[in-house]
Amino acid sequence: MRDSFRILFESKKDWEIYEESLDYVRKIVMGAELLRDALTGLCEGRYEKIKNILSEIMLLDENAGQIAMDIRARIVRSIRDPYNREDLLKFTRSIEDVMRAVKAVAHRLDMCEKFEIPELLKDDLHKMVDSVILTIKSLEMSLMGMPYNPEEAVKHSKDISEHEERVDDVRRGLMRDFIRIGDDMKLTQFYVMREILDNLEDIADRCEETGKLIELIVMTSEQ
């Protein structure tokens, strides 16, 4: 990769690409925080609350989709160097992957109406979502540091990996708990809950991939 983000600061139009990318990531943070609220509603048996929150996530995803379209259009119009253009398009696709993973969790939660979450799982489910949110917020901080403090951007990129490892650890513990619960959980509920865990892990994995992309861009732009 080449100095993709350096070129963002050469004109007002290029700077707008950066600002819209940051706006997109902040919507991902909002989406993940709404997932936490929905999960809390599920654990408390407040199913109507879940429906309302999931509707908010779908609207947020729709708005984020429009931002992504605008980013791609600006990149095509403003970035003439084909290498820089491809790097920025790859970054845009990467943050879109994170939002898709958030949306996937929302779809799975929408299938959980009338599910009763075993007490054994509740604390770790909240821990996993909290770790996912920290992962996304580290991505946001990494992106925020790019134009002002590249070293800070790299630091937060590495923080993403640490939070992602925490997500993996909590997920493994939850899967062990699933096995301990065994026949007390219906088969349909087991599969849906496992998919929720997989999708939450996917959010963190996608963030890690995006963070490594930011780190690589920062490092190569300083050469």
What is the maximum span of the chain, computed from C-alpha positions, in angstroms?
A: 61
- The answer to whether position 93 is within a domain reads yes
- The answer to whether position 1 is within a domain reads no
The string of pLDDT tens digits covering residues 27-48 is 999 999 999 999 999 988 888 8
Would you state the structure tokens that stand for residue 186, as one six-digit string?
């219906």
CA angle 17, 79, 140 (to 5 degrees): 30
- The answer to whether position 153 is within a domain reads yes
- The answer to whether position 169 is within a domain reads yes
d(CA 97, CA 10): 28
Q: Of 221 and 102, which is predicted with more confidence?
A: 102
What CATH number does the domain containing 162 carry?
A: 1.20.58.220
- The answer to whether position 69 is within a domain reads yes
**What's the domain count of the chain?**
1
Region 4-17: mean pLDDT is 61
Instruction: Name residue 63's amino acid.
Output: N
Q: Of 6 and 69, which is predicted with more confidence?
A: 69
Grade residue 53 by pLDDT with cuts at 50, 70 and 90: very high
pLDDT of the residue at 31: 97
The string of pLDDT tens digits covering residues 127-183 is 999 999 999 999 999 999 887 788 888 899 999 999 999 999 999 999 998 888 866
| Model pTM score | 0.89
**What domain range includes position 24?**
6-221
Would you state the structure tokens that stand for residue 202, as one six-digit string?
């996917």
Q: Are 36 and 133 in contact (CB under 8 A)?
A: yes
